[in-house]
A and B are shown apart, each in its own frame.
Chain A
């Protein structure tokens, strides 16, 4: 890489860093973030209720790790991270258009792609922070009897890492959707609760067209039956290495596409 290109790269990275700092500090303060923090703490509340009920009322003891892995994680994976990623991902571009604040960013000496990258990174960081905090607290509450058993923390780190990967991947997809679709929320809801759910019941390679497939491939195959039939699906998992590679590839592809679309597309404010 010649000095000119190195200089450009450094400039690009610095621009991304400044945009990241801008939106991270703005996002931290925003009222909607505080509300979504509360929402992401609902599993913590659920865990507290479950544990309380178990301790004081339940005769049948279900291991905390079982509840965490099969219920709390499923709640995060099939609902919460989708909602958070959908909201924050589509906000990367749509928020600027709806608030008519896009001009303040596009009239600065920063590349347009660093605006997208920086804001995506800021919102992904906030989402990960929200989610991981909730996951950690839920885990600790549900396993309060077993906290000294260090082997269970392996599960926590694995599950938290899977959720982080999921957030990064979904947010990049929704960032791309937000850059070129006006009705990104509708599309996002159909994708999350339509496509991602339904496609997993299809056999063979069709499952590989869902991000959820790769995330679930990284977790031990959950096979709850009976009352948990709503969780039941035919998972034909991909190997973890391939799953991680695919998730990272999906993230890279969609964020790159988002940067390209944002740089080339003309955005006109609705008066």
Chain B
């Protein structure tokens, strides 16, 4: 797929503080998660690719065009900022429709898009209330609404799920995933790992202004050869199972948990281990209840990469 957003040697300093260092990326259509702790450089990166700030070194292009001061590109870009700031004396409806007006849409289009967007984010009943009377969750949904109201092709969302309740988060995640099906490009940043995991497998890990890893989460995990894979097996006879593979050279550690029917295995070659397991189960008549990889998730990948 042709990349939509390209960055080349992107660097940004805030005085003496390094915001972002030498970031070269290509982002394709679909959902890309930008992950990192607070202060990693996620917001800096999103502000650079949305033209809010200019890089000290490097270039950013969206659809082969430079973003900085290229206002026409914003007709296909929707940006959801991190800050919880609004024109407090406006109502929700006025806010969305006034911003839509800046997209040079006709009054009829504005009305229909504003209504549709507020229905999507479930703010249609509160549309005539002033924004400063909204709760935190409502304001966050409104912020998300202004980013999607004009049906942009590219969405840049900086921590869009902040302040939302679990139900609200699920709805927004489902919505973002539906945009992916429509072929849109969505870049989502978060420091909450399960959120990103729920949305996408394509991630970019940022820490201290640098890209630590980029790609599919499983692929990244497999690349981390220094750290063995952990596999949790719940079965009818874990000790018998363990005795069968303990001599294999790719098994590094076997841990029996406090639960009597499970074992945690550390292996340096997950594929070999998984190819061995089914035969062992059948030969020894062991009933399998559960097999999971506790560290095949973003938290573990992230912890490994930043050395925690």
Residues of A within 8 A of B (CB): 11, 14-15, 18-19, 21-22, 25-26, 29-31, 99-101, 103-112, 263, 266, 268-269
**CA separation between A30 and B78, bound complex, in Å?**
27
- Is there an interface contact between A109 and B103, defined as CB atoms closer than 8 Å? yes
- Is there an interface contact between A266 and B87, defined as CB atoms closer than 8 Å? no
**CA separation between A104 and B81, bound complex, in Å?**
8
Q: Known: A109-B102, A112-B71. Contact between A266 and B50, CB under 8 A? A: no
Chain B's closest residue to A33 (CB) is: B89
Interface string of B63-81 (1 = CB under 8 A from A): 0000001011111011101
User: Which of A18, A21, A31 is most buried by chain B, counting CB atoms within 10 A of its CB?
Assistant: A18
User: Which of A104, A111, A112, A266 is most buried by chain B, counting CB atoms within 10 A of its CB?
Assistant: A104
User: Min CB distance, A143 to chain B, in Å?
Assistant: 38
Chain A's closest residue to B98 (CB) is: A22
Q: Which residue of the partner chain, among B51, B83, B89, contacts A31 with CB atoms under 8 Å?
A: B89
- Is there an interface contact between B101 and A22, defined as CB atoms closer than 8 Å? yes
Q: Known: A30-B89, A109-B72, A109-B104. Contact between A103 and B79, CB under 8 A? A: yes
User: Min CB distance, A185 to chain B, in Å?
Assistant: 21
Interface string of B32-65 (1 = CB under 8 A from A): 0000000000000000001111100000000000
- Is there an interface contact between B101 and A26, defined as CB atoms closer than 8 Å? no
Q: Known: A22-B98, A30-B89. Contact between A14 and B54, CB under 8 A? A: no
Residues of B within 8 A of A (CB): 14, 50-54, 69, 71-75, 77-79, 81, 83, 85-87, 89-90, 94, 98-99, 101-104, 146
Q: Known: A103-B83, A266-B53, A268-B53. Contact between A109 and B75, CB under 8 A? A: yes
Contact partners of A103 in chain B: CB under 8 A: 52, 79, 81, 83
Contact partners of B99 in chain A: CB under 8 A: 104, 108
Contact partners of B69 in chain A: CB under 8 A: 112, 263
**CA separation between A21 and B101, bound complex, in Å?**
9
**CA separation between A110 and B54, bound complex, in Å?**
18
Contact partners of A106 in chain B: CB under 8 A: 51-52
- Is there an interface contact between A14 and B83, defined as CB atoms closer than 8 Å? no
- Is there an interface contact between B89 and A100, defined as CB atoms closer than 8 Å? no
